[in-house]
Amino acid sequence: MSQSNSLNQHTPLEYSTEDGRLKIFGFWVFLGAEIILFSCLFASYMVYLHRTAGGPTPDDLYDVKEFMIETFLLLTSSFTCGLGTHELRRQNKMGVIIWFIITLILGLGFVGMEIHEFVDYVGEGAKLTTSAFLTSFFTLVGTHGCHVSLGILWIIGILIQTARTGINAVTARKLFIVGLYWHFLDVVWVFIFTVVYLTGMVL
Amino acid sequence: MQTDHSTTSHGHEGFPWKHVIGFILSLILTVAALWIVVSLSLSVTLTITFILILAIFQVLVQLLFFMHITEHEGAYQIIAIFFGIFLAAVFVYGSIWIIY
């Protein structure tokens, strides 16, 4: 493995230590496991898609305007999070904090929209226990929403640490990893957008 | 093991073109998927095939433009992610194949 003396000047700070490199790789393995978790939830959603038990169908529930706003909020937050990582590589602490705070606001907007959407559905009589379709829908979309909520808390924690200790090998690694997590949530949402919402409109 | 802070930023200066291009591509792909569903009256199978292809491109944009998946020597993370994708495909396709 390359040691510090063989690391050239192009090496970003988060890869500058063996510890940082291993933890970043470990996080990619975790994301691999997350793909499998979500794939099982997607599989059960597709299996139960038509098992509506006389309750609301996808066509009755999904609202184009709402899920498009959710999609654009999350896509934009993924972009601003990427800009945060870009500023991290320029060692610009203020830039990192500003872009990650914008990411947080967009993420909160997304979670708020999703809670609103779920409350609406329950008001329309589409509850978790109404049908197998709704159980799998709420489990899939809700698991993603929980991940986003957890990501918001995680980013807040790392931002506090960054504000206090500045950008160093430890905070750079943590910011990079939370960035990977956030982009991954956008990847999962792309499939929820495609497989759940758009497909729900054509079937 | 102190890296020289003044030089680590080399190669990451300036305008983040990569991110901006990635963002524009992701917006285009999203709007295109919605357009296929709302405006084109294709058959159900064709519509779903097209939007799934767009979703795969969308994921590639995220992985390549935002997550820097090819970054770092060895890049063993690509193996981890593709193993995850392989298992995901088996679970999803297998479930659909059994049920329908």
Going from N- to C-terminal start, the domains of chain B cover 15-67, 74-100
| DSSP summary character for residue A194 | I
Q: How confident is the model at residue A84 (pLDDT cuts 50, 70, 90)?
A: very high
Restricting to B residues 16-75, those with a Cβ less than 8 Å away from any Cβ of A are: 16, 19, 22-23, 26-27, 30, 33-34, 37-38, 44, 47-48, 51-52, 54-55, 58-59, 62-63, 65-67, 72-73
**pLDDT of amino acid B13:** 62
Q: Which chain A residues contact residue B95 at CB under 8 A?
A: 43-44, 46-47
What is the percent of chain B where pLDDT is above 90?
Answer: 52
Which of the two residues, B12 and B57, has the higher pLDDT score?
A: B57
**pLDDT of amino acid A175:** 95
Residue A30 pLDDT greater than 90, yes or no: yes
Whether B13 has its CB under 8 Å from any CB of chain A: the answer is: yes
Q: Which chain A residues contact residue B33 at CB under 8 A?
A: 193-194, 198
A9: three-class secondary structure by DSSP: coil
Q: Burial of A31 by CB count in 10 Å (0-12 exposed, 13-18 middle, 19+ buried)?
A: buried
Restricting to A residues 134-173, those with a Cβ less than 8 Å away from any Cβ of B are: 169
- A30-51: average pLDDT: 94
pTM, entire model: 0.89
Q: Burial of A89 by CB count in 10 Å (0-12 exposed, 13-18 middle, 19+ buried)?
A: buried
Q: What is the pLDDT of residues A133-158, one digit of tens each?
A: 999 999 999 999 999 999 999 999 99
Task: Using CB atoms, pick whichever of B4, B37, B81 lies closest to residue A9.
Answer: B4
Residue in the structure block whose two tokens are 């939830």? A41
Residue A6 CB neighbour total at 10 angstroms: 8
As a whole number, the mean pLDDT across chain A is: 91
Q: How confident is the model at residue A12 (pLDDT cuts 50, 70, 90)?
A: confident
Which helix (H) or strand (E) element contains residue A138? Answer: helix A132-165
**Domains within chain A, CATH numbers bracketed:** 16-202 (1.20.120.80)
Residue A3 pLDDT greater than 70, yes or no: no
| Nearby residues of A102 by Cβ (< 8 Å), 6 or more positions away | A77, A80
- Look at A15-19, A96-100, B2-6 and tell me which has the smallest mean pLDDT: B2-6
Q: Which of A33, A137, A191, A172 is nearest to B9 (CA)?
A: A172
Residue A159 CB neighbour total at 10 angstroms: 21
Cα B14 to its chain centre, rounded Å, is 24
Task: Using CB atoms, pick whichever of B7, B55, B77 lies closest to residue A190.
Answer: B55
Residues B59/A31, Cβ–Cβ less than 8 Å: no
Residues in chain B, how many? 100
DSSP string of A29-96? HHHHHHHHHHHHHHHHHHHHTT--TTS--HHHH--HHHHHHHHHHHHHHHHHHHHHHHHHHTT-HHHH
Task: Using CB atoms, pick whichever of A40, A82, A180 lies closest to residue B19.
Answer: A82
**pLDDT of amino acid B8:** 39
- B1-5: average pLDDT: 39
What is the percent of chain A where pLDDT is above 90?
Answer: 79
Which helix (H) or strand (E) element contains residue B46? Answer: helix B44-61
Residues A48/B48, Cβ–Cβ less than 8 Å: no
Residue type (1 letter), B1: M
Q: What is the pLDDT of residues B50-69, one digit of tens each?
A: 999 999 999 999 888 888 88
- A123-127: average pLDDT: 91
Residue B20 pLDDT greater than 80, yes or no: yes
DSSP string of B16-32? -HHHHHHHHHHHHHHHH
Which helix (H) or strand (E) element contains residue B8? Answer: helix B5-8
Separation in Å, CA of A49 to nearest CA in chain B = 11
ipTM above 0.85? no
DSSP string of B52-83? HHHHHHHHHHIIIIIS-TT-SSS-THHHHHHH
